[in-house]
Structure 1
Amino acid sequence: MTDGTEKRLTEILKSLPAAQAGALLEFAEFLLIRHGVDGLEPVKNIAAVEIPKPLDIPRPAGETVVKAVKRLRVTYPMLDARKLLNQTSELMTQHLVQGREAVQVIEEMEILFRLSYEKLTVKNED
């Protein structure tokens, strides 16, 4: 991290009310867990970062596969969409090229996102 980045983070942290400063720290710890450096020792006595619960966004009637992907990305903002890109693209291709029913593809996408979320929360408990 550059000195400028560290200085700016410190300025922001000092300017925030206590609750928001705590939230910033929790988010930084979450990012460290998700993208941490291999071999970096975990910090002792820091509570595990709580992964937010998915938003409750119901599937609208007649939803398209593309809209389903957008809805699921909003429903699960804590997931890294890049890690789901291959599987999501494969399911979308099955629908667009192979003619697979949209409802089936959307159901599989919902399962994919839910399982990815569950994997993330289990990983965080370790």
Structure 2
Amino acid sequence: MMTPGGDAEKSRLLRAWRKLSPDARKSVIRFAEFLHQEQQQDARAAQHAPSAMEPLAIPAPAKETSVAALKRLKKSYPMIEADAALLDDASKLLMERMMGGDDAEVIPKLERLFAQRYTDWRAQQAEITPSVPE
């Protein structure tokens, strides 16, 4: 029985392998070992990575500007896509700052904007993958 892509891929690889010179075969082996090592490192990193469902706790530095806050919030909420609507809303808040507003007033608004987008994202994720009742 042929597994999807499995046997066909093996046959294709074996045909290509047979056409290679000994030096090229050594290169293929080194490359395959490199890929395997990368895959293992990625798997280990994924085990220790924070949950993609939760925002990262990146503290605001002292005297943070509105632009720096926007950059921090984008890093803090990697699960939220920077879509046109979010960028438009954030731009309006930054424009408020440029028109004489104070960072101390704009930054909390940016934080609320991202927190609300995160809440919306979580609700959307719950609809996509409903939890299993216990």
TM over 0.5: yes
- Shorter-chain TM-score bucket reads 0.5 to 0.7
TM-score, with structure 2 as normaliser: 0.56
Higher relative contact order (CA 8 A, sep 6+): 1
With 74-83 and 100-109 compared, the bigger mean Cα shift is at 74-83
State the partner residue of 1:85.
87
Distance 1:120 1:51, change over 3 A: farther
Distance 1:117 1:76, change over 3 A: same
Give CA deviations for 1:66-91 in whole Å, capped at 9, x if unaligned.
10011001101111112410000000
Structure 2: distance between partners of 1:114 and 1:51: 15
Structure 1: distance between partners of 2:126 and 2:83: 23
- Identical-residue share of aligned pairs (%): 35
Structure 2: distance between partners of 1:105 and 1:71: 14
Shift of 1:123: 0.8
Structure 2: distance between partners of 1:76 and 1:51: 9
Q: Which amino acid aligns with 1:75?
A: S
Structure 2: distance between partners of 1:56 and 1:82: 22
Q: Does the Cα contact within 8 Å between 1:51 and 1:121 map onto a contact in 2?
A: no
Which structure's CA Rg is the greater one? Answer: 2
Shift of 1:52: 2.0
State the partner residue of 1:29.
none
What's the C-alpha RMSD, in Å, of the aligned pairs? 2.4
Gaps of 5+ in 1: 1-6, 8-14, 24-49
State the partner residue of 2:30.
none
Q: Which structure 2 residues correspond to residues 1-126 of structure 1 after superposition, within 5 A?
A: 16=39, 20=43, 51-83=52-84, 84-97=86-99, 99-126=100-127
Structure 2: distance between partners of 1:51 and 1:117: 12
Q: Which protein is richer in helix relative to its size? A: 2
Count of residue pairs brought into register by the alignment: 85
Give CA deviations for 1:5-44 in whole Å, capped at 9, x if unaligned.
xx9xxxxxxx545x84xx7xxxxxxxxxxxxxxxxxxxxx
Secondary structure of the residue aligned to 1:60 is coil
